[in-house]
Amino acid sequence: MRKKSPNRKRARKRKVRNISETDRKLVKMAQDVLRQIEKGHPPSVEIPQRGLSNVIFDDDSRILKMGDKTSKRSFLNIAHTRKFMQTMLVASYAQKLVKDDKHAGIRELYYALKHSVGSSKENTFEEQGESNIIIEDLERMLDLLREQMNLTADRRGFIYGDIEIFDSGDRFNASKLGRGGWAVPGNIEDIKLKKSNVDYVLVVETAAMSDRLIEEKFPKDNNCLLVACQGQAPRGIRRLLSRLHLEMDLPVVVFTDGDPYGWYIYSTIKQGSINLAYLSNTLSVPKAKFVGMTMDDIETYDLKGVTEKLKDLDKKRIEEELKYPWFQNRKWQKQLQKCKKMGVRIEQQALANKSLEFVAKEYLPEKIENKNFLP
């Protein structure tokens, strides 16, 4: 199912300019502020607005994009002073990280910058939520991933299969690590993806299903990479998928539970989340396909006996997903409506009801061979 695309050059270009670009943008923002002060003007920065009203779904590229509405954050506006101070602190810390070639977790950043201001009892930050928001602001202001500012999200998930990876002087193949696979770091900006002979990437929601597919030798027999996201895909995994797609021209196929949460995981991998729409270009895979589970599977594979009842949160999520721009097509609307009507969910592992081998020997190969995907 492999297809070549002209993405490679674009991807490579983005990598090379990373560090210098980050440093340049952070320094430029600081110089702008300094210049305002030197001119005797009250210093301020322009920040793209967050929220749905400033998000556009681009029908051509099929990704979420940031609109052009901005807000001014001004030091001498008493409603903005605290946030302005926080913005300068976080930007300064990030610039130091990049200069020193160090990385920090976003929780480390919070603790590193938390202190009382002068002799007052006022703290720079009261809780991590405050610094997280500033990081998002900077990402939108500077059009940079936090990872490009050497800020790292918590990691989870692993990759298994025939790909050579080059990281910190080590070169290894992720198919030569027993049944374990490579634990994907939170920040993968500096790794190099080398030779791979696979045809596509299969993303799997649960670690247990990944273990099943590894035991059944699915990645080897079907010439694919397996990426376990272990729940909602963390940023390291999303960035890895985006890079595998852009740099290695690999199609991405997603395999989750058949329920509103599984479909939400797919949606995030494919399009990005609405809250972080501005990151879609480098964190999402708009051409990703969904292989299952679907509500149709329950009938096709006679799984009625092993469904579970929907919870209230599931029902709420269906209503949200019915409105997602990228689910505005016949196939997805049908599955979502069907789920609502049937009131049940079906888990990946319910396929074990047929036999342990079934998922690897019949379900996935047949669906993938026949391109029986949801868009």
Phi, psi of 72 (to 5 degrees): -95, 130
Tokens (6 digits) for 223: 């010439």
Phi, psi of 192 (to 5 degrees): -115, 130
Q: Residue 319 contacts by C-beta under 8 Å, 6 or more apart in sequence?
A: none
Q: Which is nearer to a copy of itself, 38 or 101 (CB)?
A: 101
Residues that bind a copy of itself (CB under 8 A): 102-105, 107-109, 111-112, 114-116, 123, 152, 154-156, 158, 165-170, 172, 176-187, 191, 206-209, 211-212, 215, 228, 230, 305-306, 347, 349-353, 355-356
Taking the complex as a whole, the smallest distance from the CB of residue 264 to a copy of itself amounts, in Å, to: 20
Could you tell me if 273 and 320 are in contact, meaning their C-beta atoms sit under 8 angstroms apart? no
Residue 111 is a catalytic residue: yes
Could you tell me if 297 and 346 are in contact, meaning their C-beta atoms sit under 8 angstroms apart? yes
The partner residues of 372 in beta bridges, in order of sequence, read: none
Options 111, 261, 264, 266, the catalytic residue: 111
Taking the complex as a whole, the smallest distance from the CB of residue 358 to a copy of itself amounts, in Å, to: 10
Q: Which is nearer to a copy of itself, 161 or 286 (CB)?
A: 161
User: What number of CA atoms fall less than 13 Å from residue 6's CA on the CB side?
Assistant: 0
Taking the complex as a whole, the smallest distance from the CB of residue 286 to a copy of itself amounts, in Å, to: 27
Q: Which is nearer to a copy of itself, 58 or 166 (CB)?
A: 166
Phi, psi of 177 (to 5 degrees): -120, 45
Separation CA 272–CA 278 (nearest Å): 9
Tokens (6 digits) for 300: 């096709």
Separation CA 277–CA 16 (nearest Å): 24
Sign (positive/negative) of CA torsion 233, 234, 238, 241? negative
Q: Identify the burial level of 260 via C-beta atoms within 10 angstroms of its C-beta, where 0-12 means exposed, 13-18 middle and 19 or more buried.
A: buried
Separation CA 261–CA 232 (nearest Å): 8
Taking the complex as a whole, the smallest distance from the CB of residue 84 to a copy of itself amounts, in Å, to: 22
Q: Which is nearer to a copy of itself, 109 or 224 (CB)?
A: 109
Taking the complex as a whole, the smallest distance from the CB of residue 349 to a copy of itself amounts, in Å, to: 5
Q: Which is nearer to a copy of itself, 182 or 218 (CB)?
A: 182
Taking the complex as a whole, the smallest distance from the CB of residue 328 to a copy of itself amounts, in Å, to: 33
Helix (H, G, I), strand (E, B) or coil at 344: strand
Q: Which is nearer to a copy of itself, 142 or 191 (CB)?
A: 191
Running DSSP on this structure, what letter comes out for residue 179?
T
Residue 309: name the closest of 353, 355, 354, 260 by CA. 260
Q: Which is nearer to a copy of itself, 55 or 359 (CB)?
A: 359
Report the chain's C-alpha Rg in angstroms: 23
Phi, psi of 172 (to 5 degrees): -150, 160
Residue whose token pair is 């919870």: 311
Taking the complex as a whole, the smallest distance from the CB of residue 250 to a copy of itself amounts, in Å, to: 19
Q: Which residues are known catalytic residues?
A: 111
